[in-house]
Structure 1
Amino acid sequence: MSEWTPRRFYEQATPTETSGGYGIALDGHRVMTPGKSALVVPSRALAEAIAAEWQAQGEKIDPGSMPFTRTANSAIEKVAPQKDAVAQMLADYGDSDLLCYRAAEPDALVRRQADLWDPMLDWAAASLGARLVPVTGIMHAPQDAMALKNLADRVHRMTEFELAAFHDLVAVSGSLILGFAATGPDHDPDDLWSLSRLDECWQEETWGVDEEAQALALHKRAAFLHAHRFFVLSGAD
């Protein structure tokens, strides 16, 4: 039996100004989250992106083709009720950041990690007030407590909509520093994604491309780039 999907029941999807921000109306009726909360976002630009997803639907509504709607729903229903816990969970990535765990060999990989990852650690020290120190191997080595506090304070200042996007920027890349870099104008998000895959790319160069792993990487890249766009739009007004 085929899975049931809702049919399109409206003609026009439009952003609307409402109490607390911007909503989306379907023929004048406001969109609700799956849990029946009002779908209200902080910027018109984000509301326009969500409305565009609804407008682009065909005869049947495909939730899988609506990432902005899905992330906004998560911000309202999943992040907001436990905002401090989500923020701390993401901040904890700083103590085991991908950029800090380096290979002992071969020399070419060691040099590549230093050449590409050290500048990001320098950027974090200058821009975020947090100097993280790289170590060799996979054993955990605690980072400076003040550096971690500075990073955590920044995470906790984010809104629930920023955190919903920041979650994917950090969790998909494995790096709190790359996540922060993706929230500002100084770095191209595609370049940051490539930095997060440095070790995987090395393995591909050495042993060849695994098609299943490559497909997963493309999926994660799309999630990372969407999260970057959602973060930017959430603060666009």
Structure 2
Amino acid sequence: MLHTSDPRRKCTFSQESVPTEPALSVSSKYSTATAERRRFYQDVSISQGESGLYEINLDRRKLKTPGGKLFTVPNEALAVAVATEWDAQRDTLKFYTMHLTTLCNTALDNPTQRNKDQMINAALKFLETDTVCYRVDEPLALVELQKNEWDPVLEWIENRYNVTIGSSSSILGPEIPEATKDTFRQHLNSYNFWSLTGLEYVITQLKSVVLSLGMIDRHLSVQEAVLLSRLEEEYQIRRWGNVEWAHDYDMYELRARTAAGALFVHLSSESSSIKRKLLQD
């Protein structure tokens, strides 16, 4: 239950009990693919600190980042999402599934010590090698598939932002006009640092600025964006077959990471508070 009358708001989830401590710092290796740990807390809660930022508490111990900073998020909506991520863990904590927590830690610790301009420049580098801009010359069926599936997305984004991008079958890819880069630079600069962190994460998953913005702008669903980013691979699988479990696992993981990144972008831009019961039994 969220207590809106208290300036230090709190919302509680629950499981099993352990002794309390002032703060809790989880190992910096928890974002690796194999990191797991036995669940060591009963209750997950959020509270609003004096600064107005929201904190995550595990049995009343304040969560810290791998870098040792107090784990704080800018709004209530994101705090609830992260708390739900921790509460969803069962006997074993599967840190590699906690994408929102990882993105928050990245924004808070900023391990590469980059500023917004550096992040925007990195994102624009992907535009020069965008997945949907690189086309094949053969086989004809794949050429037509790329044209039919990717061209509408390119047309949408060119109209949406009044830019020219184009496509090419050359190994060098299309030559992106400077005016296009300037337009996207201005647009990306409108995002705050946290949202840029999430957007960059999505771009690295899809290898595409075009598909990422299409999804963030809600022109594409997560499933559509992921399938379009894997168009050639899916074509080859339909033609030659695949190792079913491996393909399904890769697809599931990519969807999960992409969806988490998109959610992080939207939640980190959220300014409103949630003033209703968060979970009902």
CA distance in 2, matches of 1:107, 1:61: 47
Task: Give the CA RMSD over aligned residues.
Answer: 2.3
Q: Indicate the residue corresponding to 2:209 in structure 1.
A: 176
Q: Indicate the residue corresponding to 1:154 in structure 2.
A: 187
Q: Secondary structure at the match of 1:209?
A: coil
Does residue 15 of the first structure (1) align with residue 49 of the second (2)? no
Q: Indicate the residue corresponding to 1:112 in structure 2.
A: 145
CA distance in 2, matches of 1:198, 1:65: 25
Aligned counterpart in structure 2 of residue 73 of structure 1, from 99, 102, 105: 105
Q: Indicate the residue corresponding to 1:223 in structure 2.
A: 257
Larger-gyration structure (1/2) = 2
CA distance in 1, matches of 2:157, 2:36: 48
How far 1:123 moved relative to its partner?
1.3
How far 1:7 moved relative to its partner?
5.2
CA distance in 2, matches of 1:102, 1:141: 10
Structure 1: unaligned runs, 5 residues or longer: none
Deviations 1:69-109 (A, max 9, x none): 11110111127831332221112111221111111122222
Q: Indicate the residue corresponding to 2:268 in structure 1.
A: 234
Q: Secondary structure at the match of 1:134?
A: coil
Q: Secondary structure at the match of 1:102?
A: coil
How far 1:58 moved relative to its partner?
4.0
Higher helix share: 1
Cα pair distance change 1:63/1:215, threshold 3 Å: closer
CA distance in 1, matches of 2:69, 2:236: 46
TM-score normalised per structure 2: 0.75
CA distance in 1, matches of 2:235, 2:188: 31
- Paired-residue identity, %: 26
Does residue 64 of the first structure (1) align with residue 96 of the second (2)? yes
Deviations 1:24-50 (A, max 9, x none): 123333221111112121221110011
How far 1:119 moved relative to its partner?
1.1
How far 1:141 moved relative to its partner?
3.4
Q: Indicate the residue corresponding to 1:37 in structure 2.
A: 69
Aligned counterpart in structure 1 of residue 237 of structure 2, from 185, 204, 215: 204
CA distance in 2, matches of 1:192, 1:103: 20
Aligned counterpart in structure 2 of residue 27 of structure 1, from 54, 59, 63: 59
**Structure 1 residues 226-235 or 166-175, which shifts more?**
226-235
Tell me, yes or no, if the aligned pair for 2:36 and 2:92 is still in contact at 8 Å: no
